[in-house]
Amino acid sequence: MTEQPQKIVALVDGSTYSASVCDHAAWISQRTNAPVELIHVLGRREAADTHDHSGAIALGARTALLEELAALDAQRSKLISHRGRAILEDARAILDKAGVTDITTRLRHGNIVEAVGEVEADARVILIGKRGEAADFASGHLGSNLERIVRASHKPVFVASRAFRPIEKVLVAYDGGASAMKAVDHIARSPLFAGLEIHVVTVGNATPEVKKGLDDAKAMLKAAGIEAGTAVLPGQPEIALGKLVDEAQFDMLVMGAYGHSRIRSLIIGSTTTEMIRSCKVPVVLMR
């Protein structure tokens, strides 16, 4: 029996980031030959309103009002579902135009984290926009769904920037931790990164331990046929890495998502949060 290729799970919500999510999904699909599954989740706040608004109205009028409210709720639910299907069809059209042929769509009600959990076993990557529909114009605000998915997902999470641009030059933020080593191993094994220019950078002091970590990362990539550059930068990670991304014109940042303590595991690491917020390029987060 032939094993099914792991799919690219792309979450679309109708925000300005949705087109970028689709463009990045197409780019990944073309480089990996992976199918794409588009998912739109109708959240609980979009579900039909079930509150009793009738108050202390006389019985006959109350019954008529309840019937009218029920009809309005049914109509609203129907319109929301139609809108969700339209979002999925628009997303499919972007992928079709880019030449992706293996596309499935899924409209789901309920919790977005649960929806991702149902499909991530077969996923190679989860794609989501940096901000959701409600936060399009709040540049300092990360989408709450993004934070929840990064906390819950065991697969790489690809955070799409506002607009797609060709990806040729990749910066790997390397801190010597388990998630950083996993990121390097992922890059070494994945066809997505073949032929791209890879740089592995640590921010901090150039201690023997730090240098050895970078040498190990470089050797792992070289064994996979990738000649990577390495460097140690002084300063604070979120400042030094952000400046490097801008000045050296990197197209993508790959980094670990968490610290290792129990407290840190409850939130996205502060450096990670700042990098997602400030970077104008896609950020790939590894657990």
Rounded to two decimals, the pTM is 0.84
Q: What pLDDT score does 279 carry?
A: 82
Q: What are phi and psi of 207, to 5 degrees?
A: -75, 160
Q: What pLDDT score does 5 carry?
A: 67
Give the residue-averaged pLDDT of 24-50: 83
Q: What rounded mean pLDDT belongs to the chain?
A: 84
- 85 and 186 share one domain: no
Torsional sign, CA 165, 168, 173, 177: positive
Composition of the chain by helix, strand, coil, percent to 5: 45, 20, 35
In angstroms, rounded to a whole number, what is the distance separating the alpha carbons of residues 234 and 150?
28
Please check whether residue 159 is in contact with residue 282, taking contact to mean a CB–CB distance below 8 angstroms.
yes
Q: What pLDDT score does 179 carry?
A: 81
Count the residues in the chain: 287
pLDDT over threshold 80, residue 29? yes
Domain boundary among the residues 97, 126, 160 is at: 160
Quick check: is 71 in a domain?
no
Kindly indicate the confidence band of residue 260, based on its pLDDT and cuts at 50, 70 and 90. very low
Q: And the tokens for 63?
A: 């019954």
Q: How many structural domains is the chain composed of?
A: 2
- 258 and 277 share one domain: yes
- Nearest to 217, CA basis, from 238, 233, 234, 231: 231
Quick check: is 73 in a domain?
no
Q: What pLDDT score does 140 carry?
A: 43
- 135 and 261 share one domain: no
Quick check: is 55 in a domain?
no
Count Cβ atoms below 10 Å from residue 154 Cβ, excluding itself: 11
Lowest mean pLDDT among 55-69, 188-202, 235-249: 55-69
pLDDT over threshold 90, residue 76? no
Quick check: is 16 in a domain?
yes
The CA dihedral of 231, 235, 236, 242, to the nearest 10 degrees, is -60
Digit-coded pLDDT (tens) for 201-217: 998 888 899 899 999 99
Q: What are phi and psi of 54, to 5 degrees?
A: -80, -20
- 227 and 94 share one domain: no
Digit-coded pLDDT (tens) for 39-55: 999 875 554 444 554 45
- 99 and 234 share one domain: no
pLDDT over threshold 80, residue 220? yes
Q: What pLDDT score does 49 carry?
A: 47
Burial class (CB in 10 A: 0-12, 13-18, 19+), 53: exposed
- Nearest to 280, CA basis, from 180, 165, 172, 197: 165
Range of the domain at 106: 7-46+81-160
